[in-house]
Amino acid sequence: QLLLQESGPGLVKSSETLSVTCTVSGGSISSSLYYWGWIRQPPGKGLEWIANIHHSGSTYHNPSLRSRVTISVDTSKNQFSLNLSSVTAADTAVFYCARRHVAAGWFDPWGQGTLVTVSS
């Protein structure tokens, strides 16, 4: 059974860089069939796709966040990570990682999510 687990700092100061990591277990991150993605959800609000990465290193970003997002993959650790720079209170959210099918676009499974709060 494929499991994804996010880890993050919990609290980040405004204007700094938020970093979260997703560890994949029960399967390889190096499958060509899948991307690995980040989705966020501000408290009480909806889901917003942030970015995807393929094990080959190909990346795809939400245009509205592109300038502040860096996504990377470490196949040796079966992990992928997200950096979001110049954060503000509006970036406070639960960050989910998920596996995304390359062709069909669906996300499954999802990690449990990690809440990152941006403080001033």
Closest distance to other proteins from the beta carbon of 108 (Å): 4
Is the dihedral angle over the CA atoms 83, 110, 39, 27 positive or is it negative? positive
* DSSP state string for 8-52: --SEEETTS-EEEEEEEESS-TT-TTEEEEEEEE-TTS--EEEEE
- Token readout for 60 is 């795809």
1 binds other proteins (CB under 8 A): no
Closest distance to other proteins from the beta carbon of 120 (Å): 26
Among 15, 64, 88, 119, binds other proteins (CB under 8 A): 64
- Among residues 108, 96, 105, the alpha carbon closest in space to that of 21 is found at 96
In terms of CB distance, is 3 or 11 closer to other proteins?
3
Among 62, 75, 78, 83, binds other proteins (CB under 8 A): 62
Binding site for other proteins (CB under 8 A): 35, 39, 46-49, 52, 60-64, 96, 100-101, 104-113
